[in-house]
């Protein structure tokens, strides 16, 4: 039996779409037109149902349509016009997305490494505060996907891509990370802010929305629209570029049942593919493959308690969002609600909405009590232990998702036995296997577990490239009002002000 508990402290309220036995993912194919936004929302977003989209010359949005050809390896540097350094992952245990230290290099250097053909490097999400110890292990990945929300492409949906989801958490001031109670007498001063947008905030918000090296495309909506039409009812959180390469040869592994991954690490069988590892994100995802091939293996949030996450699951919301316990397995985790927003930050926002005349009201006092409670419970664990993968990652080795592809019958038998012993029930779960070709897209709601296998193309230096949009997951059934309050709406309005100001200035 795995050391990772299978029960949730509170449980699951997820009643939306789940995978029936012997079914395949829905597929939309339009030769000349996209699905109507209202129809797409009703059939997929509201039902929390993934769908594959094919046959689109480009996905349209305000200002233009995504020009997929502009993101091909040969045109990419000219399209981006980005000269800054990027954080690049180096392959670890045959895969990516394990929270390892990242290397820094400009996009030109990364393209040169791809031409050398090592297959060891991967461009994934970019952290503005990557020097912080928690960077890859908590709310960034843990809370991937929303401003105060949590995510990870590994995020590829997270694709190798992991990881992490948008770190909008940094757009809201946090309390000092200690175990003391909040000084209620001084708290009101925290909310008496000047609402003027500073140049620093404008730059920060734009870089959070358009992650480097996409940042300069804020001025080119004809190449990369900020809000695709089919998901125009949702609030965008982040847009990312993912880029990696298949290695020159397939690695060799030796099955070892005494090892926690059976000796596989993140190895997947077959021809030179790399794996993101099995995980879920905290944001809705629209994934667009530019070149190469991708294989997504999907599991419903309904099966979260059988997928052996690093973190101890606290609750699975009906939106698909998964909240975790703050404990030794996720010491930096902060509890979230069903749209991915960090509860502590929402309470601070609610306090900010109160008028000065409400300072002594019962509602104000109750919010302060709630805030003190959240502050204490999110800081009660010492984070000085060993570094772990983010809580939203499964401890199941990705090779166990593809046992049938191992050629040796004895190896397959050993792996099945290992899976039954350490991850009982996993092999019996219903799943979708989705292959994406260049130009294909995948809509994946928050909370859907996925492992992404990436493969390059021989005529493009075995490079694979993808774009993805993260969106705040809706938490109502009303398409006219997808969110239960104005928390995310107000935040997006402020980001839109920054976008407008930046475009007027004409520079980044």
How many angstroms separate the most distant Cα atoms in the chain? 74
Residue 407's pLDDT is what?
86
Query: CA-to-CA distance for 265 and 277, rounded, in angstroms?
Result: 9
Tell me how long the chain is.
508
3-state secondary structure of 328: coil
Q: Phi, psi at residue 209, to the nearest 5°?
A: -75, -55
Confidence of residue 125 (pLDDT cuts 50, 70, 90): confident
Query: CA-to-CA distance for 428 and 110, rounded, in angstroms?
Result: 41
Summarize pLDDT for 331-344 with one digit per residue, the tens.
Answer: 999 999 999 999 99
489-508 average pLDDT score: 90
Residue 64's pLDDT is what?
64
**Token reading at 386:** 């060993």
**Token reading at 275:** 């794996």
Name the one residue in this structure whose structure tokens are 């990370």: 177
| Stated pTM of the model | 0.85
3-state secondary structure of 330: coil
Q: What is the mean pLDDT of the chain?
A: 82
**Helix H or strand E encompassing 370:** helix 362-377
Please indicate whether residue 195 or residue 504 has the higher confidence score (pLDDT): 504
289-303 average pLDDT score: 96
Residue 335's pLDDT is what?
95
Q: Is the confidence at residue 21, as pLDDT, over 60?
A: yes
Q: Phi, psi at residue 342, to the nearest 5°?
A: -70, 125
CATH number of 11-505, picked from 2.60.120.650, 2.60.40.2470, 3.40.50.300, 2.60.40.10 = 2.60.120.650
Summarize pLDDT for 197-227 with one digit per residue, the tens.
Answer: 999 999 999 999 999 999 999 999 989 999 9
Q: Is the confidence at residue 140, as pLDDT, over 60?
A: no
Residue 135's pLDDT is what?
39
Name the one residue in this structure whose structure tokens are 């590892």: 277
Name the one residue in this structure whose structure tokens are 């000219």: 78
Summarize pLDDT for 78-112 with one digit per residue, the tens.
Answer: 999 999 999 998 865 555 555 556 889 999 999 99
Please indicate whether residue 415 or residue 99 has the higher confidence score (pLDDT): 415
Residue 122's pLDDT is what?
87
Residue 58's pLDDT is what?
62
Q: Is the confidence at residue 116, as pLDDT, over 80?
A: yes
Residue 333's pLDDT is what?
94
Which segment, 31-35, 66-70, 238-242, is predicted with the most confidence on average? 238-242
Residue 251's pLDDT is what?
67
Q: Is the confidence at residue 178, as pLDDT, over 70?
A: no
Of the candidate ranges 142-156, 252-266, 416-430, 442-456, the one whose mean pLDDT is the lowest: 142-156
Going along 411-494, which residue ranges are E strands? 432-436, 441-444, 449-455, 463-471
Of the candidate ranges 59-73, 203-217, 338-352, 361-375, the one whose mean pLDDT is the lowest: 59-73
Q: Is the confidence at residue 286, as pLDDT, over 50?
A: yes
Q: Nearest CA to 445 among 316, 346, 356?
A: 316
Residue 347's pLDDT is what?
96
**Token reading at 231:** 């998901």
Summarize pLDDT for 451-497 with one digit per residue, the tens.
Answer: 999 998 776 678 999 999 999 999 999 999 999 999 999 999 999 99
**Token reading at 325:** 């316990």
Domain residue ranges of the chain, discontinuous segments joined by +: 11-505
Query: CB neighbours (10 Å) of residue 198?
Result: 10
Summarize pLDDT for 302-317 with one digit per residue, the tens.
Answer: 999 999 999 999 999 9
């Amino acid at each position: 039996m795995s050391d990772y508990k299978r029960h949730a402290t509170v449980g699951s309220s997820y009643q939306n779409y789940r995978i029936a036995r012997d079914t395949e993912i829905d597929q939309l194919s339009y030769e000349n037109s996209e699905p109507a936004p209202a129809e797409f929302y009703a059939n997929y977003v509201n039902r929390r149902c993934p769908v594959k989209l094919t046959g689109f010359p480009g996905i349209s949005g305000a200002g233009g349509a995504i020009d997929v050809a502009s993101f091909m390896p040969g045109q990419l540097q000219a399209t981006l016009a980005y000269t800054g350094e990027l954080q690049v992952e180096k392959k670890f245990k045959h895969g990516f997305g394990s929270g390892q230290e990242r290397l820094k290099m400009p996009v030109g250097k990364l393209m040169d490494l791809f031409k050398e053909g090592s297959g060891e490097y991967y461009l994934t999400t970019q952290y503005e505060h990557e020097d912080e110890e928690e960077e890859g292990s908590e709310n960034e990945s843990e809370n991937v996907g929303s401003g105060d929300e949590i995510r990870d492409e590994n995020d590829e949906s997270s694709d190798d891509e992991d990881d992490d989801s948008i770190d909008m958490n940094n757009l809201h001031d946090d309390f000092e990370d200690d175990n003391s109670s909040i000084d209620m007498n001084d708290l009101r001063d925290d909310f008496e802010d000047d609402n003027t947008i500073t140049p620093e905030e404008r730059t920060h918000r734009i870089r959070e929305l358009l992650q480097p090296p996409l940042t300069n495309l804020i001025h080119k909506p004809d190449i990369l629209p900020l809000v695709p039409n089919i998901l125009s009812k949702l609030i965008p959180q982040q847009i990312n570029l993912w880029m990696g390469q298949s290695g020159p040869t397939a690695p060799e592994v030796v099955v070892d049942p005494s090892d926690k991954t059976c000796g596989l690490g993140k190895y997947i069988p077959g021809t030179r593919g790399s794996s993101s590892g099995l995980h879920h994100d905290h944001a809705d995802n629209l994934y667009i493959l530019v070149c190469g091939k991708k294989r997504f293996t999907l599991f419903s949030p309904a099966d979260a308690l059988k997928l052996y996450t690093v973190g101890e699951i606290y609750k699975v919301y009906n939106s698909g969002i998964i909240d975790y316990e703050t404990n030794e397995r996720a010491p930096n985790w902060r509890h979230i609600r069903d749209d991915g927003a960090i509860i502590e930050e929402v309470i601070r926002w609610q306090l900010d909405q109160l008028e000065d005349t409400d300072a002594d009201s019962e509602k104000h006092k109750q919010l302060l009590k709630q805030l003190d409670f959240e502050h204490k419970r999110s800081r009660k664990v010492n984070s000085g232990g060993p570094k772990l993968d983010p809580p939203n990652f499964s401890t199941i080795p990705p090779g166990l998702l593809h046992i049938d592809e191992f050629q040796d019958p004895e190896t397959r038998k050993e792996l099945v036995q290992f899976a039954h012993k350490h991850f009982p029930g996993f092999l019996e779960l219903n799943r979708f296997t989705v292959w994406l070709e260049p130009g294909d897209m995948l809509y994946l709601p928050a909370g859907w577990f996925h492992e992404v296998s990436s493969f390059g193309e021989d005529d493009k230096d075995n490079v694979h490239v993808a774009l993805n949009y993260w969106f705040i997951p809706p938490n109502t059934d009303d398409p006219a009002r997808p969110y239960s309050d104005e928390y995310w709406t107000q935040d997006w309005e402020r980001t839109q002000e920054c976008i407008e100001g930046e475009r007027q200035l004409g520079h980044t």
